[in-house]
Chains A and B, each alone.
Chain A
Amino acid sequence: DAGVIQSPRHEVTEMGQEVTLRCKPISGHNSLFWYRQTMMRGLELLIYFNNNVPIDDSGMPEDRFSAKMPNASFSTLKIQPSEPRDSAVYFCASSMTGTADTQYFGPGTRLTVL
C-alpha cells in the first residue's frame, strides 16, 4: 500500500510568490492533518480535516495560508503571498477518525522562500 504522498518534495521560491503544497492521504483514511516543522517552533498543527470538512484551523498562522480538501483523496495547502519566515518542512498526515489510531505521515515538503 502506498503511504501518504506529498508533492513537491522540495520547493524553492521567491518572496511574494504563491506556493501550493499537495497531499494524497492513505486510501480509507478520513482524517487529514497539515503540520509545519521548524527548528524554532518545533512541530505545529496547522489544520485538520475530517471527512473533507475543516475541523480546526486555529493553527493556521494568518490569512496568507489556506487549505482545501475537495475530496477524500486530495488536499492542498496554499501560501499566497509567501514570505521567508514561511520556510519550513510541511508534513501531511492521515488517520482513521474517532479512534486513538496512528497518524501516518508523509515524507514532507521542504519549502524555502528566498
Chain B
Amino acid sequence: GDSVTQMEGPVTLSEEAFLTINCTYTATGYPSLFWYVQYPGEGLQLLLKATKADDKGSNKGFEATYRKETTSFHLEKGSVQVSDSAVYFCAPFDRGSTLGRLYFGRGTQLTVWP
C-alpha cells in the first residue's frame, strides 16, 4: 500500500535560517504530491503541490520538487520566519483503483525563534 515517511521533528531554527523537511513516499501508481501546513489551533491547509515528475510547487517562499527517481518531495525555504512555526505534513495523493485519497505523514513540528 501507499505510505509516506517524513523527517521526525521537532525542528527548531533561528529566524532567517534555511529549512529542509525531508519526505519520501511509496505508491503503487504515479501520485500527485502535496504539502499541507497546520498553524496552532487550526485545521490543515494546502501549502503547495506538484502533479508530475520534476514539477516544482511553491508558495510563501516554500518550494518542493517532485523527484520520481528518488520518490521524494522535500520541502525547503531559504529564510524562515517566526510566523512559519507550524506543523508540516507531506501527503501523496493516490489515484489508485478507487476515487483516490491523500496519505498524510506524521507531520513535522517547526519552531522558529526570533
Give the B-binding residues of A (Cβ under 8 A): 4, 31, 33, 42-43, 45, 48, 50, 55-56, 91, 93, 97-98, 100, 102-108
Contacts and interface: CB of A to CB of B under 8 A. Distances in A.
Contact of B99 (A50, A103, A107, A108): A50
Given A43-B89, A91-B43, A91-B44, A103 B102 contact: yes
A100 B93 contact: yes
A42 B49 CA distance: 21
Given A100-B51, A102-B49, A43 B42 contact: no
A42 B107 contact: yes
Interface of B: 31-32, 34, 42-46, 49, 51, 89, 93, 95, 98-102, 104-107
Tell me the interface secondary structure of chain A in the complex: strand
Contacts of A93: 43-44
